[in-house]
A and B are shown apart, each in its own frame.
Chain A
Amino acid sequence: MTFFRRPLVFTSYYFLVIFIFVLIAFLTSLLALSMGSVPISPLEIPELLLSSSDEITHKIIKDIRLPRVISGFCVGGMLALAGCLMQVLLRNPLAEPYILGISSGASAFALFAIVIGISGIWVNFSAFAGAAITVFLVFYLSGLKGKWNPLRTLLTGVVLAAGWGAVVSFLLSISQVTQIHGMLFWLMGDLSLGVFNPASAIVLIICVLFCLFIAKELNLLALGKMSAQSLGVSADKLTYLIYFLSSLLTATAVMQAGSIGFIGLIVPHLSRLIVGGDHVILIPVSVLLGGSLLIISDALARTILAPQQLPVGVLTAMLGVPIFLILLNSINKTQK
């Protein structure tokens, strides 16, 4: 691990690390494309993607699995990036994209839409509206006195999340049995709803570029607002920007796939353990790792109990938790 942890210079080292994680994402995608009810060898996949035959395997890959893999990568990347940003914003390593109630707001609105009989893409839009309303509420309520205070923001978000949680329970209790299964997938996260939505790819790319541009400032803000300001960062402006970007990422991810847990919490930490706390490298590595983890989780969710599909949130937790604990433990040992 010590190889990865050194002062970062814009050299071959940086690109080597990025290259390794791009490779991991690529191999994961190949693996995920090959898994399913019709097994296809990973070696055949590049050829199938490039050809334009009318074969059934070609159709399966191109029309069914590929959009799902891309959408998985985008959602995983967005959640991981939102996690990185939230942790800096709230100066709290336990912060994750959903901590400010964004996903609960989205879920409550999505479930409400399902209960009143709306279906299709409108449920997703309803979720986005719920997320946006929550973002605004947290911002307004915690920023009332003009001064941003991470602790008050955190508490406001957590309490709002609890409130939305009650709404969700209420909606679950009054809805019909036939609707409950679909609702559960919303609450646990599911990529099968999502056809590949170009909006999420655009949001991800723009946010990653933006965050790379402010990576040094993020490093300083992680030290604390006063330290950052005294070292030359306009801390207030940066705080609002981070809040906006992380909310946009989370809302887009939730709209696409429901609330998928653990990625946003575990991936930034995992990346921090591997490459260190410098956001210049932490951000691209988190995005790549988040995307990879969600792709492989989704592939397993599709196949592990086939033909039954599981909510992908179950798999992200099942994979993420042990990986994280093992790595955390091994780092602790080398530290001593």
Chain B
Amino acid sequence: MKLLEINSLDLAVPGKNLIKNFNLTVNNNERWGILGPNGIGKSTFLYAMMGLNQIHAGSINICEKKLETYSAKSLAKIMGILFQDYKDAFPITVMESVMAGRYPHMKSWSMYSNEDIKIVEEILKLVNLSDKAYRYINTLSGGERRRVAVATLIVQSPMIWLLDEPTNHLDMHYQINMLDLLIERVQKSNGALLMVLHDVNLLIRYCTHAILMIDSNKIITGKVEDVINRENLQVLYNHPVKQIADNNKQMFFPG
């Protein structure tokens, strides 16, 4: 099934065109990595798919139905997003924060059941935060807060996973640990993943396809082995790139 279909999409923010006439089809079990320089519109693109900001032309279909036909709640069952950053206005506990991910699966008027709590506790174990379940999120470190957000998304368990720089604030161990965990969940859901990354080598490690956002008219899409190469990356970042081969795997570093 086509999980996500984008037809001649135009996206703009006041004073700037971000994306012009863009087409994309995402199927089950595909993992798309999105690369691009700062300010090119990677986050805005993810938000648009989630219906969080307006598109100027074109259409987005989710599971072969128009995005506009979904209510917020029915969309949240299919699609979830990990934001780049979280600003917490109120001190709530880790437990309460992760519990928010259960919302799309609950009926109105119902309260959290013991089953909800069990689900949350299990996932807190996976992100190694069991011992901090009743800590306030504003007392956590940046990396711990990030893992709370990852846990919330896993609790939401969508089919289309949108990740905006998932490795932000995470140390080397947790970068791999969290991405392994997320990808395992994506596969379990038989869904698809789109993630914005700044690390080409992580993209090669985890993604099957890539989107290179060079400018509004020039967006390269394709399989990782076809589009991730030295020439494209140099054009993309306007910066010299070094290439190293390790056991037949290509790795790229800034020159």
A contacts, CB < 8 Å to B: 2, 5-10, 14, 87, 91-93, 213, 216, 219-220, 222-224, 226-227, 229-235, 272, 276-278, 280, 335
Contact = CB atoms under 8 A, between A and B. Distances in A.
B103 A230 contact: no
Contacts of A14: 111
Contact of B109 (A5, A213, A226): A213
Interface in B77-113: 77, 80-81, 83, 86-93, 95-97, 99-101, 103-104, 106, 108-113
B117 interface: yes
B49 to A, nearest CB: 11
Contact of A7 (B50, B81, B83, B112): B112
B113 A9 contact: yes
Contacts of A233: 72-73, 103
A277 B91 CA distance: 7
Nearest to B81: A230
A232 B73 contact: yes
Nearest to A235: B72
Contacts of A213: 108-109
B117 A9 contact: yes
Contact of B112 (A8, A229, A234, A277): A8
A216 B101 CA distance: 11
A8 to B, nearest CB: 6
A234 B76 contact: no
A278 B96 contact: yes
B13 interface: no
Given A216-B106, A231-B76, 5 more contacts: A7-B95, A7-B117, A220-B100, A231-B156, A232-B104
B134 interface: yes
B75 interface: yes
A216 B117 contact: no
A272 B90 contact: yes
A225 to B, nearest CB: 9
A232 B72 contact: yes
B111 A223 contact: no
Contact of B99 (A7, A87, A232): A7
Contacts of A277: 90-93, 96
27 contacts: A2-B134, A5-B93, A7-B95, A7-B96, A7-B112, A7-B117, A7-B120, A9-B117, A10-B110, A87-B90, A91-B89, A216-B108, A222-B90, A226-B83, A227-B83, A229-B51, A230-B52, A230-B76, A230-B80, A231-B156, A234-B71, A272-B90, A276-B92, A277-B93, A277-B96, A335-B136, A335-B139
A10 B108 CA distance: 13
B89 A226 contact: no
B238 interface: no
B141 interface: no
A232 B76 contact: yes
Contacts of A231: 76, 80, 100-101, 103-104, 156
A230 B48 CA distance: 11
Contacts of A222: 89-90, 92
A44 to B, nearest CB: 41
A230 B50 contact: yes
A235 B75 CA distance: 13
B48 to A, nearest CB: 12
A235 B120 CA distance: 24
Nearest to B133: A7
A89 to B, nearest CB: 11
Contacts of B72: 229, 232-235
B114 interface: yes
Contact of A232 (B75, B88, B111, B112): B75
B150 to A, nearest CB: 14
B111 A9 contact: yes
Interface in B47-63: 47, 50-52
A226 B52 contact: yes
B106 to A, nearest CB: 7
A212 to B, nearest CB: 9
Nearest to B88: A223
Nearest to B70: A232
- Which of B77, B91, B93, B96 counts the most chain A CB atoms within 10 A? B96
A136 B163 CA distance: 39
